[in-house]
Amino acid sequence: MSNIAFSYSPLTGRVIFGAGCLGLLAEEIGKLGYRRALVLCTPQQREQAERVATLLGSQAVGVCDRAAMHVPIEVAREAIAEAARLRADCAVAIGGGSTVGLGKAIALESSIPVVAIPTTYAGSEVTPIYGITEGGLKKTGRDIRVLPRLVIYDPHLTLSLPDRLGITSGINAIAHAVEALYAVDGNPVTSLMAEEGIRALANGLPKIHADPADLEARTQCLYGAWLCGSVLGATSMALHHKLCHTLGGTFNLPHAETHTIVLPHAVAFNRSATPEAMSRIERALVCKDAATGLWDLAKACSAPLALRDIGMPQEGIARAVDLALQKPYANPSPINRIGLTELLSKAWAGERPSEAG
């Protein structure tokens, strides 16, 4: 009989963290031996990308500003061709999960390594997970080639994050940590990181909501995002991520907002099966009940609370339940139609979950 308590393969990749550390980019890229960087961004972040290209000087060969939500295959093909035409030897992605995702699509196809400069709290920069959308269907997978070799976390870059995106992106990160706490393949180290990640974000988010220029709070949030992304990359997600994936794909709902709304209800659903995870969340949030604590955090930061407010039709609840019941992820509480319908109905209406009792 085996007596292995857990197994864990920490993911490698260099991380540089701190206000102003973007200034080290050229030096750090040089250390890795890269000479021809293609800078990636969305059209909205062209200015930040131009700054990165300027910092790289002769080490940059171009800027591609076509990154878009969910990595459309056409955009990925275009960027791969551009990287080949320019003989790029690395892709430097500055932006959120969508831009890092484009870098990953290039890495998957052409083995050009990715350097990530995250400007949201999504966490993709520390995971080997990729997603590409073709014909309306998002295909996701894991491949170590897409894990960025270098991540530069500079909180200055998050100062321009619009309030709603910053808050929902931060709660999206918390969702990774919450599910890592009850993941089938979690371990004591990922649990430490997850709890600390939730603590950092729960502390920082209300502060950046009150004062978007609070650099210390921005630093705390980015630190939390790193921890939460790291545990997303190391463990398998459960019902919450399955539901958000289904809702986002079926009703074209915004990624981070969907996570923000569903999370407290998914936690209430799993509450009785995961007492240790609940204690850790409650300790991190300094609250008595994890589900209502998460809902109260979202409300205090003026985040959206109802799926109906972000474009989900009420009749979509039954469809989403059907889809979520097909090929479900491993989940602590058994999944059934009645429970999922209740969960999604509450999330649709924006109700506060009931407290543990």
The neighbour count for residue 230, using CB atoms within 10 Å, is 26
Residue from 102, 105, 116, 127 binding ligand NAD (CB under 6 A): 127
Cα–Cα distance measured from residue 224 to residue 243, given in angstroms and rounded to the nearest whole number? 23
Q: Are strands 137-142 and 90-95 parallel, antiparallel or unpaired?
A: unpaired
Q: How far apart are CA 198 and CA 196, in angstroms?
A: 5
Residues within window 192-251 making contact with ligand NAD, judged by CB under 6 A: 232
Dihedral pair phi/psi, residue 130, rounded to 5°: -125, 160
H helix intervals, the chain: 25-31, 46-56, 73-85, 97-110, 163-181, 188-210, 215-234, 239-251, 255-270, 275-285, 290-300, 316-325, 337-349
Q: How far is CA 87 from CA 55, 81, 326, in A?
A: 20, 10, 43
Segment near ligand NAD (CB under 6 A), from 80-88, 93-101, 282-290, 343-351? Answer: 93-101
Position among 120, 220, 274, 331 found at the interface with ligand NAD (CB under 6 A)? 120
Q: How far apart are alpha carbons 79 and 157 in whole angstroms?
A: 24
What is the nearest approach in angstroms of ligand NAD to the Cβ of residue 166? 8
Backbone angles phi, psi at 39, to 5 degrees: -90, 130
- Nearer to ligand NAD by Cβ, of 96 and 264: the residue is 96
The verdict on 119 binding ligand NAD (CB under 6 A) reads yes
Minimal distance, residue 146 CB to ligand NAD, in Å: 8
Of 3-11, 54-62, 83-91, 96-104, which part binds ligand NAD (CB under 6 A)? 96-104
Asked if residue 165 binds ligand NAD (CB under 6 A), the reply is: yes
Least CB distance to ligand NAD at residue 124 (A):
3
175 and 241 Cβ atoms separated by less than 8 Å: yes
Q: Which stretch binds ligand NAD (CB under 6 A): 17-25, 127-135, 210-218, 341-349?
A: 127-135
Neighbours of 325 (CB within 10 A): 14
Query: Which of 217/278 has CB closer to ligand NAD?
Result: 217
Phi, psi of 265 (to 5 degrees): -75, -35
Q: Which x/- pattern over 20-49 shows residues binding ligand NAD (rule: CB under 6 A)?
A: ----------------------x-xx----
Strands 90-95 and 114-118: parallel
Enter the tokens of residue 106.
């290039």
**Which C-beta is closer to ligand NAD: that of 13 or that of 96?**
96
Q: Which of 59, 158, 220, 235 binds ligand NAD (CB under 6 A)?
A: 158
Which one, 67 or 320, has the nearer CB to ligand NAD?
Answer: 67
Number of residues this chain uses to bind ligand NAD (CB under 6 A): 29
Piece in contact with ligand NAD (CB under 6 A), picked from 26-34, 119-127, 192-200, 336-344: 119-127
Distances (CA, A) of 273 to 70, 267, 337: 33, 10, 18
Contact in structure between 112 and 91 (CB atoms under 8 Å): yes
Can you tell me which of 22, 34, 38, 98 binds ligand NAD, judged by CB under 6 A?
98
Cα torsion through 69, 70, 73, 78, rounded to 10:
40
Contacting ligand NAD (CB under 6 A), which of 40, 60, 63, 96? 96
Q: Is 13 in the site for ligand NAD (CB under 6 A)?
A: no
Which position among 36, 66, 70, 308 is part of the footprint of ligand NAD (CB under 6 A)?
A: 70
**Stretch of 28-36, 89-97, 213-221, 313-321 lying at the interface with ligand NAD (CB under 6 A):** 89-97
CB of 104 to ligand NAD, least distance (A): 7
Give the other-Cβ count within 10 Å of 89's Cβ: 18
Does 123 contact ligand NAD by CB under 6 A?
yes
Which residues are near ligand NAD by CB under 6 A? 42, 44-45, 69-70, 95-99, 101, 119-120, 122-124, 127, 129-131, 157-158, 160-161, 165, 169, 232, 255-256
